[in-house]
Every structure is written in C-alpha cells, then in structure tokens.
Structure 1
Amino acid sequence: MTAAPAPNPCGPALDRWCARWLPDPSGFIAVAYSAGADSTALLLAARERWPSRAVALHVHHGLQAAADGFESHGRAFCEQLGLPFSSSRVQAAHEQGQSPEEAARDKRYRALADMAQQAGAACVLLGQHADDQAETLMLALSRGAGLPGLAAMAERFERHGVVFGRPLLGLPSQVLREWLLAQGHAFVDDPTNTDPRYTRNRIRSLLLPAWEACFPGFRPMLARSARHAAQAQTLLDDLAGIDMAQTGAPPAILVLKALSRERQANVLRRWLRSSAGVAASTVQLDELLDQIADCTTRGHRIRIKVASGFVTREGERLAFVPPDNTPPI
C-alpha cells in the first residue's frame, strides 16, 4: 500500500490562528504569495481549508531580474491548482532617509491591501515563520528597541483598512521546506535572501546557527519572549489611555508632572504616536522629560526636536509642531 501523504504542517497552525482571530470568516481568504517556500506551504494549507475561497496575491517589486520569473512561476502554480491569482507591480525604490527594506515593505502592504479589497477578501495571510520572528527580535535587540520592537511581529494587525495575519510564527522554515520537497511541490528561492549587505541575512547566516548550536530549539523561546513583550506593551497602552484621560491631548503640563517620570514617558509616547504619527528617540524623550521637570514658571520655554518636528510649550500645554510649521530659532 502507498503511504498517505504527510499532512501540511501549516494546517494545525492555520486552525489555531483562525480559532483566535478569524472564527467565522466570510468572503475570500487571501494569501500573500511570493512563490517562495513559506508562502507556497501556506497557500496550499489555505486551499485545503477553503477550497473555493482561497486566492493568491503576488507583489512584483521590480527590484531584481528574477522577479519576472517569480511572477511567472506563481501564476503557473496557481493555474495548476485552480486558484485565482492576482499580481501587482510596484516601484519599491526607497526615498531619502528610508531603508530599501522599509520602502519595499510599505509598498508591498499597500499593494496587498488594494488587491485584497478588490477581491473582497476577509483578510490577507502572510507566510512569516519562526525564523523570521527570531530575526526580527534579534534585530530589535541590536538596536536597543523598547517593548514595541521586542514584541517583534504580531499575529494579527490592520493596515490600509485590511486585516493581516501571520499564522506560521511558531513553525521553523526548515519544517515547511522539508514538507514541500517531500511532497514534490515546486517553489522559488529569492537570491537576495543570501545577500550579506542586508542585516537580516547576516543574522540568518551567522547568528541563528550560533544560537542553534548553543541553545537547540531556541526559536519557540524567542517567540515566547516576543509574546510577553507584546502583552506588556498592551498593558502600557491601556495605562497611557487612562493617564491621557487626565492629562488631555495635547497634555497639560501640570497634570503630566503629577505622574511618575515613567508614566509621563508612556503618555508622551502615546500622544506623539496618536496625534502626530511620530516617535521620539530615547535621547529626545529624556530631554523632553527633563524640560518638563524644570518647567516651574510661566515663562519657561520648551522646544525639543522630535522626529522631523518639535515639541513646544503653548500656554499650559505641550504641542507638536510639524516641520512645515516650525518657526525659526
């Protein structure tokens, strides 16, 4: 007798994710399908779970000659499976002050959201896995990130009016690749994934093997740390909401000063993020907190550079002045 095919390892992970985040979806379910191993395994699992409602969304970044081949392979693979395939071409060149990775990511999410809305998809599933999560956490640690960075990648988030999900964060990449190879499913390998110019690739080729040698099976442990950080950040966000109900937005300086320095910092981060979409660096935030502590007279002036604008004092409250409105010194 011929042995039954091994089950797709993405299946149970997808079941768990749906039970928590998408218990009763309506409409189509989209998969961000690059034609690489991870998204291929996820697409096959989505097709098995939603035979008539899974769709593949492909983003052609135009950054390398191999991109045309990725798109062609993806289209042919979906035709073979009888899956709808949509592709969007974007110009992912980065602007001044923006990293190439950041530019490509922003354009990719926008394109995926647009295609998902056109397809009537309830959500877009992403193939990022446990290795990606470990790399993200290591990258955050190397930059001295706070809790938002240490929380790494969320299982669910919304962008451009569309829900995105990452059901595979608990699965190592090797598990997915081995299953695909054993079942004879074709996928492509992106040559940029081994380019040492990119920090993530150096982490992947140098740090992850070293961690595996010292701490076998470390990936779930890092994922657990990321979940703890995410939970702690949620509590801080809740506390910031409670405190902002007292300080107002923009914050009243006297009310802000009644809080501990740590709670002041928490409120200021929340206010800047929600009102101006900016984040202060650690140095900028420390300087702003020092200025607030020294603000004991009506004439005390505050003007601290934050992102591309300034936090200033206007009467009894703080204000964020964007760059176009910043008065000369």
Structure 2
Amino acid sequence: MNRSAAPANPCEQALARWCERCAPLPLKVAVAYSAGADSTALLLAAHQRWPGQVVAMHVHHGLQAAADGFEAHARHFCEQHGIELRVERVQAAHETGQSPEDAARLARYAALARMAWDLQADCVLLGQHADDQAETLLLALSRGAGLPGLASMPELFERAGVCFGRPLLDIPRSALRTWLLSAGHAFVDDPSNTDTRFTRNRIRAVLLPAWETCFPGFRPMLARSSRHAAQAQRLLDELAAIDLAFTGAPPQIAHLQSLGRDRQANALRHWLRTGAGVAASTAQLDQLLDQIAACTTRGHRIHLKVGPGHVERIGERLAYTPAL
C-alpha cells in the first residue's frame, strides 16, 4: 500500500491536545514501547512531533516465550525508524497472594522509572487508550471501588519521581490498529491479552462488546464519568486538607469527633494515603470510626490493622505505626 495515501496517525492530534492541556514542550521524551499496536502508534506520533528527542523504552518481563520475539521486533522497528531504544529485563513473577497482572505492572513501572532517570527524560508516555480506560472503570465498578478507583487512569501522574503521561485516553483501540494496518506499520500481538483467566481480558472479550451493542459509542461516556469522579475526588482532597489543618496531622481525636462521620472518614483516608501511603478498606475504616466514636475516656485504646501496619492511639492523637 502507498503510505502517502494513508490517513493521518490519530495519535498526532491526540498528542498535540494532551500537550496543550498537560505538559510544555519537553526536551527529551520517553515512550513505553511494548511493540504492540498502541505503543507503536504512539511512538511514531511522538517521533514525528519531536524528531531526535524521543527514546523508546522496552521492558522484557520474562514471563512468556514470546517475550524474546517482542524485544527482537522492537529492536528492528526502532532501527528501521531511527529511534533510540533502551531495553531492561525484569523478573515479574508474582508472589503468594499477588495477582500476576499487578506483579507485572509494578515491575514494568519500576523499570520504566529507572530508565527514565538514567535518560533524564522529561516525561514517559504510555499508550493506554479509550478501551483501556473503559476496562479500568468497569473493573473498578466490579470491585466496589470508591472515587479514586472510578476516576480510573489520569492523563498525567508521577511515580518514583518520574512524570508519566497518557495522551491517548480519548482514542479507541480500533482507530489505532486501523491506522497502523492502513499505513503498513508492523506490530506484535501479545497472546496473553486474549487469556480470559485474567479479569481485564474477560471484560475486554465479553463486557465491552456487550456495551457496544447496547450503547454504541459508549467509550466517551465512560471517560466522562471517570473525569467527573476525578473532579469529585479532587474536591474531597481539598476538604480533607482543610479538616486536617483543623485536627492536625496526625489528627487529634477530640477534633476528629467534632466532625461528622463522613468528613472524619474523608480526612482519615487522606491522612493515611498521604502520610503513610496506605489505603484502609471500607470495613477497616468503619471499624476505626466506631473506635473513635467510642473513645470518651483517657484510657480508651484504639488499635486497628491497616495495610502493613496499625492505626493506634498515642496520647490524644492517632498514629500510624508501620510493621517492623
């Protein structure tokens, strides 16, 4: 096929819009490049926008035999297009009680952050798109998530001191693949993406087609719901900051008791997340609120396991004690 007749890469306009909203012109851009369709389209758009400033970063998870082939394809593709490539190999095997998906995701982000630090990249771009956002929201709903979960994936976030961006959240998977095929660009298909033992893959294979049948063009609607949830969470965070300025951090128990139960819960969630990096479950938070309400004597004890440590009473305040 004559590539000059191919339509424009849909990632190019998405990348331009994302830069207007989220980020100034960077000096060096890294793209998380799996060699799959989504990251291939993003890598080409970034290379077109910032020629000579883009580095592809490929993480070899070591979890399947096809991984060596992914790396080989990535090396050939980047050499073909004159794009610098960095590769890091990780051991992403999951521990007992940890899902394989979570283990691979954590290992991947850690590797990307290390490479970004080494490259002194201003931002790492990720190829997650509108279908990924819809899957994330449906997965959060199935788990009874609160607003942080329903907010799904942000366009811009920081992890391990590295800026990460998702410029493709408004573009459906089909648009990316259609463009790549029409333009004649090669990419790989990860066989694990069709393994329905994984919850996200079942959502992709069963729920998304059903939603498309019932509600054609549903993806922007779900994305809008996620943005509303994110906005509401930002307002709750602002309220929590106001309340913690009153109660102190760690919070004084008597000052907490002067707030309504919902505001107590919001302030405690914020304190635990920002101060200790842990999230209390709904059941744990309800127990903690009950213990705070019952704390009317000097000798009353508060002690509750949250995450790897405990929330407890020390004097007139709460404290979070990490596990030894």
| Matches of 1:209 and 1:2, distance apart in 2 | 31
Instruction: Specify the alignment match of 1:13 in structure 2.
Output: 14
1:2–1:68 Cα change, 3 Å: closer
Normalized against structure 1, the TM-score is what?
0.96
| Matches of 2:89 and 2:4, distance apart in 1 | 42
Instruction: Specify the alignment match of 1:144 in structure 2.
Output: 144
Once the two structures are superposed, the pairs formed by residues 1-150 of structure 1 within 5 Å of their partners are 4-26=5-27, 28-150=28-150
Q: Deviations over 1:284-329 (max 9, x none)?
A: 10111111111111121111221232211111111122222xxxxx
Q: Aligned-pair distance for 1:262?
A: 0.8
Partner of 1:56: helix, strand, or coil?
Answer: strand
| Matches of 2:51 and 2:63, distance apart in 1 | 33
Partner of 2:24: helix, strand, or coil?
Answer: coil
| Matches of 1:290 and 1:19, distance apart in 2 | 47
Instruction: Specify the alignment match of 2:250 in structure 1.
Output: 250
Partner of 2:6: helix, strand, or coil?
Answer: coil
Instruction: Specify the alignment match of 2:263 in structure 1.
Output: 263
Give the AA of the match of 2:79.
E
Q: Aligned-pair distance for 1:3?
A: 6.3
Normalized against structure 2, the TM-score is what?
0.97
| Matches of 2:124 and 2:112, distance apart in 1 | 8
Aligned alpha-carbon RMSD (Å): 1.3
Partner of 2:14: helix, strand, or coil?
Answer: helix
| Matches of 2:307 and 2:29, distance apart in 1 | 37
| Matches of 2:205 and 2:90, distance apart in 1 | 29
Q: Deviations over 1:216-275 (max 9, x none)?
A: 000000000001101111111111111111111111000111111111001111111122
Q: Deviations over 1:144-186 (max 9, x none)?
A: 0000000000100011111000000000000000000011000
| Matches of 1:34 and 1:311, distance apart in 2 | 41
Q: Which has the higher mean CA deviation after the structures are superposed, 112-121 or 279-288? A: 112-121
| Matches of 2:16 and 2:183, distance apart in 1 | 21
- Provide structure 1 residue ranges, at least 5 long, that are not aligned to the other structure: 325-329
Once the two structures are superposed, the pairs formed by residues 186-205 of structure 1 within 5 Å of their partners are 186-205=186-205
Give the AA of the match of 1:76.
H
| Matches of 1:104 and 1:142, distance apart in 2 | 21
Q: Is 1:241 matched up with 2:241? A: yes
| Matches of 2:270 and 2:150, distance apart in 1 | 17
| Matches of 1:278 and 1:25, distance apart in 2 | 33
Partner of 2:187: helix, strand, or coil?
Answer: coil
Across the two proteins, how many residue pairs are aligned to each other? Answer: 323
Partner of 1:323: helix, strand, or coil?
Answer: coil
Instruction: Specify the alignment match of 2:310 in structure 1.
Output: 310
Q: Deviations over 1:33-75 (max 9, x none)?
A: 0000000000010011011111100000000000000000010
| Matches of 2:278 and 2:3, distance apart in 1 | 59
Q: Aligned-pair distance for 1:96?
A: 2.6
1:3–1:159 Cα change, 3 Å: closer
Percent identity over paired residues: 71
Partner of 1:164: helix, strand, or coil?
Answer: strand
1:2–1:194 Cα change, 3 Å: closer
| Matches of 1:162 and 1:309, distance apart in 2 | 27
Q: Is 1:215 matched up with 2:212? A: no
| Matches of 2:3 and 2:208, distance apart in 1 | 38
Instruction: Specify the alignment match of 1:171 in structure 2.
Output: 171
- Provide structure 2 residue ranges, at least 5 long, that are not aligned to the other structure: none
Partner of 1:318: helix, strand, or coil?
Answer: strand
